Amino acid sequence: MSDTPETVYLCSIVGLAGAGADPQTVESKSTPLAACLAKLGCLLASGVEPRFHELWAVPPEPPESRDWTFDLEGAPIRFSLQPSSAHNWLLRVEEGEAQAFTAIVAHHFARGAGVTRRMSTGTLRPQFKSSNLTIDFGDQTGQT
């Protein structure tokens, strides 16, 4: 048995709220169902055309890994956000010995929170857990 939720057909909107239900009734019936599904790790979704009337329990899409590469003062920097089941995300920075960008990033996390690995390429790659974030980044959202 897998811990990953599967997409499951639940019922029709008519079955949930009754034939001819107005939008407020549909919302009042679907809101508690959506809250229960959220506790199970799923989202409430309607079907696709032509079956908009169907209601489904759908697992959320896993966040995608995001990678960026840029130059800082002539040195290549690679950093990425990785989804994590134990944390919202992991931030990894890969750069040379100077670690100028890592110093900027580390300022936002608890002191000593980054775990650094030396890569076979000679670069250093510290990793920071979202749970150790102490100062939000300026463009921080609930997903980043």
pLDDT digits (tens, 9 = 90+) for 9-32: 899 888 988 999 898 998 899 999
Question: What's the CA gap between 130 and 98, in Å, rounded?
Answer: 24
Asked whether residue 83 falls in the same domain as residue 123, the answer is yes
Q: Please report whether residue 99 resides in a domain.
A: yes
Number of Cβ within a 10 Å radius of residue 91: 22
Q: Please report whether residue 27 resides in a domain.
A: yes
pLDDT at 135: 74
Q: Inform me whether the pLDDT recorded for 88 exceeds 80.
A: no
Alpha helix (H) residue ranges in the chain: 13-17, 23-39, 100-106
Question: What's the CA gap between 133 and 67, in Å, rounded?
Answer: 19
**5: exposed, middle or buried (C-beta count within 10 Å: 0-12, 13-18, 19+)?**
middle
Domain count, the chain: 2
Asked whether residue 12 falls in the same domain as residue 45, the answer is yes
Number of Cβ within a 10 Å radius of residue 136: 10
**37: exposed, middle or buried (C-beta count within 10 Å: 0-12, 13-18, 19+)?**
buried
Q: Please report whether residue 2 resides in a domain.
A: no
Its pTM surpasses 0.85: no
DSSP code, position 26? H
Enclosing domain of residue 22: 8-58
Give the closest residue to 128 by CA, choosing from 103, 5, 72. 103
Once rounded to an integer, what is the mean pLDDT over residues 44-71?
Answer: 81
Give the least confident one: 53-62, 72-81, 130-139: 130-139
Asked whether residue 49 falls in the same domain as residue 84, the answer is no
